[in-house]
């Protein structure tokens, strides 16, 4: 027996509601357009606030199953059945899967008070990404921070959109599990870190070789841009510049690889 | 003063030599087609055997500089000046940079004797990738293994081409620094590991939680496919199944992230 859900049905490509979806995918504001079974399920499992769920006739049964399974779909979500033609228009992929959602970006950061999320353990770890440009790298970092139960991923200016398709895909659902803090004001961030006794570590090729015994918690560790590394301005304000010991020929590690290694190191430190 | 180098000049797109280059890019055999200043320089710095260097008029000066700088260009390399039209034909990129090379794939593996490269320290570490499909992940793994001075990266069947453009790019030149061993026969590999006292560790979600004190060297650690992980067949033949402790919500780590963390752990172990 299928659970019932009401839906509206759209077939015209010039319908204003369809046009709005196309616009939303491109200039998303605080709404995130998600496409495809896997990415939608990742978000649904985390109980995100779903604004609209768009599907084709082929996907009616799947969506009906979701409706029975996920409570977040019962809280004001609008269901839109569209023709294949309309779906192709709103989709950004070559082979649209016939199901998409508009969800609200999680609102987890209060720029006014700059209260970072904390797990209350006194051993919070924050991963701070500055100008990380590759969506695969950012998604991997978010997934790593989630796997190690860190308190937040903090994004400094220049970092790519954490809710783009590619980041969603690389994060494997982790963007919905761990708070993502977009921080536009570095001054505020460093004031907060200092006031709360959170040690700040810059991963930097001119840093001292990592000695795990010298790390202290709570901690924020900073990873910079893939090509240029951390900016001088940011790294000079951190308590310490650290470098992962590399006895081989490669001059540096991939940004997400370095973030993962340090994630492991800090996670062990919390035991 | 510019060093002299002789070159042939080609302008016809139907020239057999041009057609051969196009074919070579697609079905490369043991020759690797590399495009762009950065990737070419990475390879040249490592002293690869260059078969042909193809360039446009605009790049003559750059190539002349390389000729003065890199000895490997003096050892039988053929220089080919081509028109912009011809370059566009042989290039696989939208904005060709006007310089490309054909280099010989490093021949580092003797399938007959299966002698793995060793650094003679008795503490060799091998990173084994099985069916790793994402070129970015494979390139990152190779870069990490190079950074930690491991003895080789071993590729089991199903793994993507380590000399494709995307892997070259992600590896940042490391494919030319560290031996890449393509192993088509897993039986041979496990016989070799056993005979040489090399411990084999499978990274596996059903493994026991990593305890660094229990690891022994020399070691080979196995990383599986992005979606499916290591095959049962492979993991069942490893000495131990290991899992990186993950207290958070993400069920797993990105393959390259896991490879990097284990790389760091093994590298520290060698100190």
Per-residue pLDDT, B16 = 85
Q: Residue B1: which pLDDT band, with cuts at 50, 70 and 90?
A: very low
Report the residue from B172, B251, B261 with minimal CB separation from A261.
Answer: B261
Angle between helices B255-269 and A135-147 in degrees, nearest 10: 70
- Tell me if chain A has a CB within 8 Å of the CB of B242: no
The pLDDT of residue B59 is above 70: yes
The pLDDT of residue A158 is above 90: yes
| Cα atoms in the 13 Å half-sphere on the side-chain side of B101 | 23
Q: Name the strand (E) or helix (H) holding A143.
A: helix A135-147
- Tell me if chain A has a CB within 8 Å of the CB of B37: no
3-state secondary structure of A269: helix
Fold match flag (A8-104 vs A125-269): no
Residue A73 near residue A53 (C-beta atoms within 8 A): yes
3-state secondary structure of B169: helix
Per-residue pLDDT, A149 = 97
The pLDDT of residue A107 is above 80: no
* List of chain A residues whose C-beta atoms are within 8 Å of the C-beta of residue B267: 245, 247
The ranges assigned to domains in chain B are: 8-104, 125-269
Q: Residue A8: which pLDDT band, with cuts at 50, 70 and 90?
A: confident
Q: What is the mean pLDDT of the segment spanning A145-168?
A: 95
Residue closest to B7 by CA, chosen among B70, B69, B55, B49: B55
Q: Are residues A173 and B250, on separate chains, in Cβ contact within 8 Å?
A: yes
* List of chain B residues whose C-beta atoms are within 8 Å of the C-beta of residue A45: none
CATH topology of domain B8-104: 60s Ribosomal Protein L30; Chain: A; (3.30.1330)
Residue written as tokens 């761990």?
A178
Q: Residue B114: which pLDDT band, with cuts at 50, 70 and 90?
A: low
The pLDDT of residue A218 is above 90: yes
What ipTM was assigned to the predicted interfaces of this complex?
0.90
Q: Are residues B250 and A170, on separate chains, in Cβ contact within 8 Å?
A: no
The pLDDT of residue A174 is above 70: yes
Each residue's pLDDT tens digit, A67-103: 999 999 998 899 999 999 999 999 988 889 999 999 9
Residue closest to B40 by CA, chosen among B181, B161, B137, B176: B176
CATH topology of domain B125-269: Alpha/beta knot (3.40.1280)
* List of chain A residues whose C-beta atoms are within 8 Å of the C-beta of residue B264: 244, 261, 264-265
Per-residue pLDDT, A1 = 42
Residue to test with chain B: of A260, A263, A271, most B Cβ within 10 A: A260
**List of residues 6+ apart from A19 with CB closer than 8 A:** none
Report the residue from A170, A244, A248 with minimal CB separation from B264.
Answer: A244
Each residue's pLDDT tens digit, A188-213: 899 999 999 999 999 999 999 999 99
């Amino acid at each position: 027996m299928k659970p019932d859900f009401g839906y509206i049905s759209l077939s015209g490509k010039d319908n204003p509601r369809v046009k709005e979806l196309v616009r939303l995918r491109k200039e998303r504001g605080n709404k995130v357009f998600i496409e495809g079974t896997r990415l939608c399920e990742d978000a649904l499992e985390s109980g995100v606030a779903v604004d609209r769920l768009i599907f084709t006739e082929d996907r009616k049964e799947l969506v009906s199953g979701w409706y029975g399974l996920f409570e977040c779909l019962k809280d004001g979500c609008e269901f839109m059945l569209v023709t294949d033609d309309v779906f192709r228009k709103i989709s950004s992929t070559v082979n649209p899967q016939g199901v998409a959602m508009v969800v609200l970006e999680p609102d987890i950061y209060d720029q006014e008070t700059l209260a970072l999320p904390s797990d209350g353990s006194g051993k919070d770890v924050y991963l701070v990404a500055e100008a990380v440009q590759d969506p695969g790298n950012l998604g991997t970092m978010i997934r790593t921070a989630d796997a190690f139960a860190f308190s937040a991923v903090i994004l400094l200016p220049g970092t790519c959109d954490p809710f783009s398709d590619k980041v969603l895909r690389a994060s494997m659902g982790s963007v919905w599990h761990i708070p993502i803090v977009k921080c536009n004001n570095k001054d505020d961030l460093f004031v907060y870190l200092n006031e709360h006794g959170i040690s700040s570590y810059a991963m930097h090729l001119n840093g001292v070789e990592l000695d795990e015994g010298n790390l202290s918690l709570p901690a924020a560790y900073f990873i910079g841009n893939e090509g240029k590394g951390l900016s001088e301005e940011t790294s000079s304000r951190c308590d310490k510049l650290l470098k992962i010991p590399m006895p081989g020929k490669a001059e540096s590690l991939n940004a997400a690889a370095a973030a993962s290694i340090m994630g492991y190191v800090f996670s062990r430190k919390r035991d």
